[in-house]
Structure 1
Amino acid sequence: MDVAESRHLNGEVYFYRLTRKFVDEKDDIPQSAKQVMYYTLAIGHHLGIVDCLSAAMTCSGTEYLDWISALDPESEAYRKMKGFLMFGEITVFPEHINMLALAFDRIDQAQQSVKSRELTKGFIEVLTAIYHEPNMYLMIRGGQ
């Protein structure tokens, strides 16, 4: 797929950051079922868990493409970030933060637009927050 022809370039790109989680207990759940729900949470599954996301940054699809184009096209970081252009959504988990932070930190800021520098700075700030709170994650998603 040619990333320049992605249909996800036409809209806005939102960088949603997990702000909090809570267990949805609006129904009276039997104690045995609650134990299953808490166990799945403990092992990393989100059965019965509601994630609260807030937009940390936004840009246009073309600004996103311009921003990630500064990455080495053969790198794992570029492949990860290009996933948005293919699927319209990617999730950045704690296991991605070192790889992505190093890749974006290596970009020569003199070669970036003002918007790309803003995105890099904001992105690294969110990655740093994820580093300090490993239950957090970032979702990059398109919108209209």
Structure 2
Amino acid sequence: MTTQVFFYLLNERFVENDEQVPEQAKQVMYYSLAIGHHVGVIDCFKKLLICDYADYQRFVDTFPEGDAKRKFAGLMKFGEIVIDSSHVNLLAKALDENRANFSPEHQKWADILMDTLASIQREPVMYIMVKRRDE
């Protein structure tokens, strides 16, 4: 049996542009979307990245102690983590500052994550679900 880490991205857009939805209605929409995954709505996710669990642990180990490392290490403790708009600045800064410590493979992951974090910054309804899976 192998253990892998799957990064899924909730990226389906329900709004064509920000001007069409009043701010109050947008907040209700975001709340509805946020609770959606608690009732089994997972079909809106796409696979963003798949990696070996041991390699993910090595990736996490490259980070200095702090909130970013704790966030990424949450996968080992809980089996899944969510990366949403509240984590964008923290993780983008940590990925950028830690780039010199990454292997070439980890640098590719960092590039994917940085692009995705930028997308989440632009559209806060998006988020990443990271899950550990035994196959």
Cα RMSD of the aligned pairs, angstroms, is 2.5
Q: Return the match for 2:126 from 133, 136, 142.
A: 136
Identity rate of aligned residues, in percent? 26
Partner of 1:101: 92
Moved over 4 A (4+): 38-41
In the superposition, the TM-score normalised over structure 1's length comes to: 0.72
TM-score by length of 2: 0.77
Give the SS at the match of 1:44: helix
Match of 1:56 in 2: 48
Q: CA deviation at 1:70?
A: 1.4
Match of 2:5 among 2, 13, 24: 13
Q: Which amino acid aligns with 2:126?
A: M
| Residues 30 and 125, structure 2, Cα contact 8 Å, conserved in 1 | no
Kindly indicate whether structure 1 or structure 2 has the higher relative contact order, using CA contacts under 8 Å at least 6 residues apart.
Answer: 2
Contact 1:90 1:140 in 2 (8 A): yes
Alignment of 1:81-96 (within 5 A): 81-96=72-87
Unaligned segments of structure 2, at least 5 residues: 15-24
- Greater helix share, 1 or 2? 2
The 8 Å contact of residues 21 and 49 in structure 1, kept in 2 or not, is answered as: no
Question: What residue is the counterpart of 1:28 in the other structure?
Answer: none
Tell me the CA shift for residue 108 of structure 1.
Answer: 3.8
Equivalents in 2 of 1:125, 1:43: separation in Å? 22
1:115 aligns with 2:105: yes
1:78 aligns to 2:69 (yes or no):
yes
Q: In the comparison of the two structures, how many residue pairs are matched?
A: 118
